[in-house]
């Protein structure tokens, strides 16, 4: 008999993102602080052992139309990678409710992949001891640089290197109200990095110090006004210069009162943190248009 479980794949924002260098193979090194959100995609997955592996993925939801349910989908790739690694033949059905826009800088595709890996471990009673979890993180890394962070249960996670060095954080903060707005068009990660000028060593050191202060504030439970000014995204220098819809969205959010508005990842979404729920609702109303998608949410599990 096939078992079925439902899992949630949380979206993320980057509270901090500095590009520290570029390797000979073309990959950029970075320091970033991920924060998971209480918005995301919903997944139902069933699987049972079979003579040979067959994966069926169906995608629906508000943003399902732009995503194929084939081998190019990260959720499908995650299932195929899982069965290959653990040498399991199975009949697997995945139903993906796509609630997060594609190319939004919110990491939903990576989160989908991680959710599938964790769900399949559950369905096939694979105990995630320390060694096996490391193996799962390695599998996630092969699927995408942002996949491993979603395998961790912690809300906040620091990433270094090319994103493969992860440090989950313990947090005592009370979640502020978080506005997340997508301008209606995606931002290409490769283009964002190709147009990037890396900061001087002195500025990178200054930003590293600010990141440490930001992490301390989150771990110690400091109020929003103690850490909001430390948030930073180097990729804004690249993306805002040529992506007018993102630049206009950020400026409109700031003008409406979201003074700490910041782009997430390589875009295209912009977010802001607020203590005042009524003010957050006002800003949501002011920036909402027919072609934008706007969420009012909070940090996941805080």
Residues with catalytic function: 12, 146
CA 41, chain centre distance (Å): 11
10 Å Cβ neighbour count for 3?
11
Alpha-carbon span 30 to 233, nearest angstrom: 11
CA 112, chain centre distance (Å): 10
Please list, in sequence order, all residues whose beta carbon lies within 8 angstroms of the beta carbon of residue 49, skipping any fewer than 6 positions away. 88, 89, 90, 91
Closest by CA to 300, choosing from 37, 21, 7, is: 37
- Residue 204: strand, helix, or coil: helix
Start-to-end Cα distance in the chain: 37
- Residue 120: strand, helix, or coil: helix
Alpha-carbon span 266 to 115, nearest angstrom: 22
**Whether the Cβ atoms of residue 284 and residue 296 lie closer than 8 Å to each other:** yes
Assign 3-class secondary structure to 18-47: EEEEECCCCCEEEEEEEEEEEEEEEEEEEE
Task: List the structure tokens of 87.
Answer: 């040498």
Closest by CA to 76, choosing from 42, 103, 43, 113, is: 113
**Whether the Cβ atoms of residue 158 and residue 33 lie closer than 8 Å to each other:** yes
């Amino acid at each position: 008999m096939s078992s079925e479980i439902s899992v949630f794949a949380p979206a993320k924002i980057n509270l901090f993102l500095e590009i520290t260098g570029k390797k000979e193979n073309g990959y950029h090194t970075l320091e970033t602080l991920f924060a998971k959100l209480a918005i995301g995609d919903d997944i139902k997955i069933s699987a049972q052992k079979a003579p040979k592996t067959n994966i069926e993925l169906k995608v629906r939801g508000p943003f399902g139309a732009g995503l194929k349910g084939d081998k190019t989908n990260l959720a499908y790739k995650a299932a195929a990678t899982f069965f290959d690694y653990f040498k399991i033949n199975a009949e697997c059905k995945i139903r993906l409710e796509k609630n997060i826009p594609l190319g939004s800088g919110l990491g939903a595709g990576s989160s989908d992949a991680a959710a599938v890996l964790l769900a399949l471990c559950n369905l096939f009673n694979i105990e995630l001891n320390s060694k096996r979890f490391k193996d799962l993180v390695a599998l996630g890394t092969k699927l995408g640089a942002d996949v491993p962070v979603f395998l961790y249960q912690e809300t906040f996670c620091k990433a270094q290197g090319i994103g493969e060095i992860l440090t989950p954080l313990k947090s005592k903060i009370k979640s502020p109200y978080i506005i997340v707005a997508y301008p209606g068009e995606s931002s290409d990660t490769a283009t964002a990095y190709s147009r990037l000028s890396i900061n001087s060593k002195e500025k990178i050191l200054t930003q590293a110090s600010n990141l440490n202060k930001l992490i301390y504030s989150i771990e110690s439970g400091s109020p929003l006004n103690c850490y909001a000014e430390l948030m930073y995204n180097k990729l804004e220098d690249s993306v805002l210069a040529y992506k007018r819809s993102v630049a206009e969205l950020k400026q409109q959010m700031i003008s409406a009162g979201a003074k700490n508005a910041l782009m997430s990842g390589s875009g295209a979404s912009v977010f802001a943190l607020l203590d005042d729920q009524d003010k957050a609702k006002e800003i949501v109303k002011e920036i909402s248009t027919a072609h934008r998608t706007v969420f009012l949410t909070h940090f996941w599990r805080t």
